[in-house]
Amino acid sequence: MATAAATTAATDLELELARLFSGDVESLAGQFEIYERLRAHGSVLEVNGDLILTGHGDVRAVLGNPVTFSSARDRSIYGGDIDDLSPAQLAKLHELAGFESGWMNDNDDPVHANMRGLIQFAFTPRRVAQMRETIQSFVDELLTPVDERGEMELVRDLAHPLPLNVICDLLGIGRDRNAEIRAWSDELAVAFDTGHANLDAAYDAYLGFRGLIHELIEHRRDGGDTTDLFGALLNGSPDGTGLSEEQLTGMLVLLLFAGHETTTNLIGNSIIALLNNREQFDRLRDDPSLAAGAVNEFLRHNGSVQSVRRVAVTDAEAGGVPVARGRSVRMLLACANRDPLVFTDPERLDITRSDAAQHVTLGYGIHRCLGAWLARLETEVAVSTLVSRYPAMQLTQAPEMRPMYTMYGPKSVHLQLF
Ligand code: HEM
């Protein structure tokens, strides 16, 4: 009997997790209770063919072992029934998957290391720190019209345009392209989360990005700065032969995509977390020097990337269970970030938590987020400016969350400011 009950509990949890991963908004709202039950359940579960890992130590062990657990993956996954696709759609799926598979985060060393080596100079703590004034000026500029209205929709007015302005500035892309980039990024985010359920729109988004990059390359090849990030990418490659246009497009799209929705969502999640914990909001307002540390706690408590995957390249072990070669392992970063074995009173938001930086929201190991310093600085400047500028801000309605699991964040956050 006990075994039957345990099996039923496991099946219930598997179903709940499958619903959560599909981006069901109700499940998302209750995700932390699901994690508690998952932890209590103890053993490792399988959902949609993935082995699910939840413990902080287990997640780090897999991410820290890239030789056994590979990042290379087949992106040609389709969320619906592949038989329903027309030949033209199948061709789109393969082209899109081929393009996505070229990204550094989907490759192992040495390919990954070579790609990362090309651009990491632009994301060092020192380089990023020099961007503080620019980021502050973008925030102030975006908030100027907001001041006059006395209310704002956080995502539309600040959280979305800010990271986009920053990454476009870094890449030398004019602001007039922001609306298109935003629409394309949104489609690619949906494609990732749903296994290309929006195939046609995602493919159009990819073509849009490709066209934009082609234009930029043509423009730059006619002359222009060769010492900035774009120039370095255009001229350099590990073997000195230059990146192909396809590789260059992949790199730039990855930066635009990875550096954008993720930070938008983090800014949104951080403000929601503070407004749901007003004493923490007041603490930050009274002591702005807490802001940098607070961002680590926001990343831990309500991170904007909630899971990552790896595939075992040999028979191995993860979370105390055997993992057969070829098996996919999905790590729930959001759950690991509230592991009571690592964090005291993990459900509580505490912006002065001394070990908040142990979170895994920015990944761990060789693929740890390249834009970590930038994402943190943007969030720090945005959140601390909002808190000091609008100390009485309040939600006017419950935030609406995006129906996505991996890239977690609000669709809209309506605020009364004064
Ligand atoms: C709050 C914002 C962000 C979050 C939560 C986040 C999260 C992550 C995570 C979890 C990974 C590791 C993926 C894996 O191990 O499979 C990653 C990698 C990466 N991130 Fe971020 N990221 C953020 C912002 C940014 C920004 C601003 C940029 C660039 C401008 C960026 C660029 C990248 C790149 C290029 C990689 C791949 C690194 C590699 O494979 O070596 N990210 N990010």
Q: Measured between alpha carbons, how far is 139 from 147 in angstroms, rounded to an integer?
A: 12
User: Residues 145-150: contacts with CB within 8 Å, 24+ apart?
Assistant: 146/417, 147/389, 147/417, 150/416, 150/417, 150/418
Compare 74 and 125 and report the one with higher pLDDT.
125
Mean pLDDT to the nearest integer, 127-132: 93
pLDDT above 80 for 220: no
Please give the structure tokens belonging to residue 233.
């990418």
- Which tokens go with 151? 């209310």
C-alpha span between 259 and 163 (Å, rounded): 7
Q: Is the CB of 251 under 6 A from ligand 1?
A: no
| Pairwise CA distance, residues 132 & 213, whole Å | 27
- Omega of the bond leading into 110 within 30 degrees of 0 (cis): yes
Q: What pLDDT is stored for residue 389 in this prediction? A: 97
Token digits for 391? 């100390």
Residues linked to residue 330 through DSSP beta bridges, in sequence order? 52, 309
For residue range 268-313, list pLDDT tens digits in order: 999 999 999 999 999 999 999 999 999 999 999 999 999 999 999 9
Cα–Cα distance list, 339 to 28, 53, 198, 304, 385 (Å): 18, 12, 34, 17, 31
Phi, psi at residue 237, to the nearest 5°?
-160, 160
Q: List the residue whose alpha carbon is closest to atom 37 of ligand 1.
A: 105
Ligand 1 contact, 367 CB (< 6 A) = yes
Domain count, the chain: 1
Nearest to 158 by CA among 263, 253, 288, 252: 263
362 lines ligand 1 (CB under 6 A): yes
Which residue blocks in 259-290 are alpha helix, DSSP H? Answer: 261-275, 278-286
Q: How far is the CA of 328 from the centre of ligand 1 (A)?
A: 20
Atom number in ligand 1 closest to CA 119: 35
**Cα separation of 62 and 53, whole Å?**
9
- Domain at 240, CATH number: 1.10.630.10
Q: Determine the atom of ligand 1 nearest the C-alpha atom of 379.
A: 1
Res 2 pLDDT > 50: no
Q: Which domain holds residue 372?
A: 2-416
Name, in order, each residue with C-beta under 8 angstroms of 392's C-beta and a sequence gap of 6 or more: 417, 418
Summarised one tens digit per residue, pLDDT across range 188-205 is 878 877 788 889 999 999
Q: What's the rounded mean pLDDT across residues 227-250?
A: 67
> Quick one: 381 exposed, middle or buried, by C-beta within 10 A (0-12, 13-18, 19+)?
buried
Across 349-397, the runs of DSSP E, i.e. the strands, are: 394-395
First to last CA, the chain: 59
